[in-house]
A and B are shown apart, each in its own frame.
Chain A
Amino acid sequence: MRALLLWCCLLAPLAHAQDDAKNVLALDTTWRTEQGEPLKLSALKGRWYVLTFVYTSCAGTCPLTTRKLKRLEQVLAQAGKPLDLVVVSLDPAHDTPEALVAYRKRYQLEEAKRWRVLVGDDAQVRTLTMLLEFKYTKNPESGVILHDNTVFLVGPEGTVKTTMSSLDQPLEAFVAAVPSARK
Chain B
Amino acid sequence: MRALRLLTLLVPAFAFAGEVVTLPGGRFAPLFGLDVGQSAFPVGTFRLDVRPVSRAEFAAFLEGNPAWRKGKAPKTLVDERYLATFTPAKHPAGPVTQVSYFAARAYCAAKGGRLPSTLEWEYAAAADETRRDASREADFAQRILDWYGQPNREGDLEQPGSPRNVYGLEALHGLVWEWTDDFNAVFVSGDNRQDGDTNPKFMCGSGATGSARREDYAAFMRYALRSSLTPRSTLPRLGFRCAYEVNP
Contact = CB atoms under 8 A, between A and B. Distances in A.
The judgment on whether A and B are partners is yes
Given A3-B227, A140-B119, A8 B191 contact: yes
A1 interface: yes
A43 interface: no
A21 B190 contact: no
B230 interface: yes
Contacts of B188: 4
13 contacts: A4-B188, A7-B227, A7-B228, A8-B195, A9-B194, A21-B76, A26-B76, A26-B77, A130-B101, A135-B184, A136-B185, A137-B186, A139-B38
A131 interface: yes
The 7 closest A-B pairs by CB, nearest first: A8-B190, A3-B228, A137-B185, A26-B76, A4-B224, A130-B231, A23-B76
A93 interface: no
Nearest to A142: B35
Contact of B184 (A6, A130, A140): A130
Interface residues of B, number: 36
A9 B196 CA distance: 12
Contacts of A139: 33, 35, 38, 41
A8 B194 contact: yes
A123 interface: yes
Contacts of B246: none
Interface residues of A, number: 28
A5 B191 contact: yes
Contacts of B195: 8
Contacts of A22: 76
A127 interface: yes
B231 A133 contact: yes
B14 interface: no
Contacts of B156: none
A102 B102 CA distance: 35
Interface in B210-244: 220-221, 223-225, 227-228, 230-232
A133 B191 contact: no
B190 A5 contact: yes
B187 A146 contact: yes
B220 to A, nearest CB: 7
B162 interface: no
A42 B228 CA distance: 30
A126 interface: yes
A133 B184 contact: yes
Contact of A123 (B35, B114, B119, B190): B114
Given A137-B33, A144-B35, A4 B187 contact: no
A141 B75 contact: no
A126 B198 CA distance: 30
Nearest to B217: A1
B232 A21 contact: yes
B189 interface: yes
Contacts of B227: 3-4, 7-8
A141 B38 CA distance: 9
Interface in A132-157: 133, 135-137, 139-142, 144, 146
Given A131-B76, A135-B184, A141 B190 contact: no
Contacts of A136: 185
Interface in A160-179: none
A133 B187 contact: no
A130 to B, nearest CB: 4
